[in-house]
Structure 1
Amino acid sequence: MTTSIEISESVRHYYGQVLQSSNDLKTSACCTIDAMPDYLKALLKSLHPEVLERFYGCGSPLPPALSGKTVLDLGCGSGRDCYLLSKLVGPEGRVIGVDMTPEQLEVAVRHRDWHAERFGYANVEFLHGHIENLAAIGIEDNSIDVVISNCVINLSPEKPKVLAEIFRVLKPGGELYFSDVFADRRIPAPLRQDPVLLGECLGGALYWEDFRRILHDLGCPDVRIVKQNPISLDDPEVAAKIGMVKFNSVTVSAFKLALEDRCEDYGQVACYLGTIPEHLHAFNLDNHHHFETGRPLRICGNTADMLAASRYAEHFQVLGEKSRHFGLFDCTPGPQTESAATDGLCC
């Protein structure tokens, strides 16, 4: 395989013909056991069994505070996350699922009326198309509040195009919130073209630093890790091919905001109001910003903007402006965030 079309066709064949259920997967990459919040686990009981059976995601990229929002799911597959989102955005919200695999979309569309009857409203639509060209299927500029994706961007042969499209369609202050597989190094070309490694979400995994550079070039210099889990290579043949690479399933958050490339200190403080129903006592913006309800926390300028200029604004009181600068923000992690110092992230 040498072209983007051939790689896309290989992925389409793997997910449409080779895999019939999650039991057919050879690694934990596409179904990493993730600590899904209890409120989401409860919603799974409302979903059709076939939709759940054909789920191949690698995490739980469903952020809070989605009521009434428009959410786009890239690589929606059989629609599991779209139907979870249907409950989270409610009757006033909207969910759009995009996928290139007809066999997967057929499952999602076939059960749309079943879910609408069960939920009492219909707010989900599915579009057949490529995530590298959302304009071709009518997704307009600045029209989406939140873009999610569940272990799909790694499957694209043109990842910079996908990410550019995401930031085109996001509204100002909108959020990209997705789970995917990342590698600790650049993967050799022959392995990037291996059909099984591609389908198992390994061959196309981005080296984290390359991903960070792509987003920086798109005007997003501050990317946050929400959570991450190591991936096990359970199949001996797969491990023999690519066992020298360490993989992680990572949930990532990135906002469409004019942020700085370093965390700067302006003496700002944020206080979480405890008004997100599923997060009454505390809220985690990412893996090293833990906000206890009612307890002020010093924050950098970028974090202040993420809270004050996004859908989270109504749930936080952010004190302080940027009229006075105190230099770089002290990013030393607190006791509940000891891993932050090794994440390679700003703040």
Structure 2
Amino acid sequence: MGIHEDVKDYYGRRVQKTEDLVLNMCVTPAQPLPKYIRDVLNVVHEEVSSKYYGCGLVIPECLENCWILDLGSGSGRDCYMLSKLVGEQGHVTGIDMTQEQIQVAQKFIEYHTQLFGFSKPNVEFLQGYIEKLSDAGLKDNSFDIIISNCVINLSPDKKAVLKEAYRVLKDGGEMYFSDVYADCILPEAIRTHKVLWGECLGGALWWKDLFRIAEEVGFSAPRLATAKRIPVTNAELKKVVGDFQFVSATYRLFKIPASCPKDKCCVTYNGSIRGFKEKLKFDVNYTFNEGEAVTVDGEMAAILQGSRFARAFSIKPAGKVAPCSGEDPSTKSKVKADETYRGALGLCPH
């Protein structure tokens, strides 16, 4: 509870706008945004956007009619943007433990409902802890997608967060999130530093621990989408951090249905996902071009078959079709993800 109270104080009272942050950890862009997303962001109310502290923007593909949960929704910027993208038949729930942030978000529900031309709100904001979603009334198997933007590192119990996320996701659901990671396990001097914790460094998880926790909870292996090194520029804090290095990375985790076989398959993308007509970059290992047959490993095949992406792909057993084009990256996927991450840190590839 001490960490929770420190974080609430930091983001509820000390930090009033983005410029109040000491470092730039939580404003690092993850990747270029499509125009249709930029257009929505540009109309989100100014007060909501001015209190945005996330590291990049976490927007997975294929959102129409989805039910989405935003862990650590803050002032609600991402929730309002997503509420437009999911449409009136979709729904977005934001949860945050900081009362001041929730008050800002709730103040503009009707404003954005009218702005987007909806007959009723499709977004709600709850005050609560991301480690205890049941206390906020969130039920099992309720959401298609969970997003989180530079928040899980602020939690003192990362495993509890992922366990709760797994519980409330539907079978085939996805957790798509950006966060700050360290190049190794951090010492106590960094982990107990209040400013470093509030600035998303003190609580940064060693990235290899993410893989361990995800497996223990039941998720598929984390799939790295983007990674970018974020240097510590403040001289005083740099003395505390020393040679430890940090990355802003986006991962995607899936709750694969038990009924989905994990057999190598040949898949063909049909180009039906909005904003990704010609090409869908799924992660650092797989990029799907419209109409091109690609061999995928068993876990990726299960993800595509068991998730909302199934309607965007033709999926056939690899042994029952002509050889697919391109090299099968299944044996190299973990190596490539590791090299991408280490490359962001400026480390050698091995």
Q: Name the TM-score, length of structure 1 as normaliser.
A: 0.90
Structure 2: 5+ residue runs without aligned partners?
321-327, 343-350
Equivalent residue in structure 2 for 1:294, among 286, 291, 296: 291
**Counterpart residue number, 1:326:** none
**Counterpart residue number, 2:103:** 106
Is residue 274 from structure 1 mapped to residue 271 from structure 2 by the alignment?
yes
Distance 1:312 1:193 in 2: 41
Query: Percent of pairs identical after alignment?
Result: 41
1:232-251 matches, within 5 Å, as: 232-251=231-250
**Counterpart residue number, 2:323:** none
Q: CA deviation at 1:318?
A: 0.8
Give the 3 Å change call, closer, same or farther, for CA 267–210 of structure 1 in structure 2.
closer
Give the 3 Å change call, closer, same or farther, for CA 330–283 of structure 1 in structure 2.
closer
**Counterpart residue number, 1:139:** 138
**Counterpart residue number, 1:22:** 18
The secondary structure found in structure 1 opposite 2:167 is: helix
Structure 1: 5+ residue runs without aligned partners?
324-328
Once the two structures are superposed, residues 7-61 of structure 1 have per-residue CA deviations (whole angstroms, 9 ceiling, x without a partner) of 1100000001111111111222111033241222121111001111100000221
Is residue 320 from structure 1 mapped to residue 309 from structure 2 by the alignment?
no
Contact 1:44 1:84 in 2 (8 A): yes
The secondary structure found in structure 2 opposite 1:312 is: helix
Instruction: Give 2:12's aligned amino acid.
Output: G
Q: Name the TM-score, length of structure 2 as normaliser.
A: 0.89
Contact 2:227 2:249 in 1 (8 A): yes
Give the 3 Å change call, closer, same or farther, for CA 305–267 of structure 1 in structure 2.
closer
Q: CA deviation at 1:190?
A: 2.7
Q: CA deviation at 1:238?
A: 1.3
Contact 1:269 1:298 in 2 (8 A): yes
Equivalent residue in structure 1 for 2:49, among 44, 47, 52: 52
The secondary structure found in structure 2 opposite 1:76 is: coil
The secondary structure found in structure 2 opposite 1:286 is: coil
Contact 2:102 2:127 in 1 (8 A): yes
Is residue 9 from structure 1 mapped to residue 5 from structure 2 by the alignment?
yes
Distance 1:32 1:214 in 2: 25
Distance 2:112 2:329 in 1: 48
Once the two structures are superposed, residues 198-219 of structure 1 have per-residue CA deviations (whole angstroms, 9 ceiling, x without a partner) of 1100000000111111111112
1:149-168 matches, within 5 Å, as: 149-168=148-167
Distance 1:344 1:52 in 2: 29
**Counterpart residue number, 2:325:** none
**Counterpart residue number, 2:31:** 35
Give the 3 Å change call, closer, same or farther, for CA 133–338 of structure 1 in structure 2.
closer
**Counterpart residue number, 1:257:** 256
Contact 1:8 1:156 in 2 (8 A): yes
Q: CA deviation at 1:105?
A: 0.9
Distance 1:33 1:222 in 2: 24
Contact 2:256 2:303 in 1 (8 A): yes
Give the 3 Å change call, closer, same or farther, for CA 40–16 of structure 1 in structure 2.
same
Is residue 72 from structure 1 mapped to residue 69 from structure 2 by the alignment?
yes
The secondary structure found in structure 2 opposite 1:317 is: strand
Distance 1:182 1:287 in 2: 17
Contact 2:266 2:296 in 1 (8 A): yes
Q: CA deviation at 1:155?
A: 0.2
Distance 1:220 1:80 in 2: 27
Contact 1:26 1:233 in 2 (8 A): no
**Counterpart residue number, 1:86:** 83
Runs of 4+ in structure 1 off by over 3 angstroms are 329-334, 337-341
Instruction: Give 2:56's aligned amino acid.
Output: G
Contact 1:36 1:60 in 2 (8 A): no
Distance 2:274 2:225 in 1: 19
**Counterpart residue number, 1:342:** 339
**Counterpart residue number, 1:172:** 171
Instruction: Give 2:231's aligned amino acid.
Output: S
Distance 1:341 1:319 in 2: 29
Question: Matched residue pairs, number?
Answer: 330
Instruction: Give 1:278's aligned amino acid.
Output: G
Q: CA deviation at 1:220?
A: 2.2
Q: CA deviation at 1:142?
A: 0.7
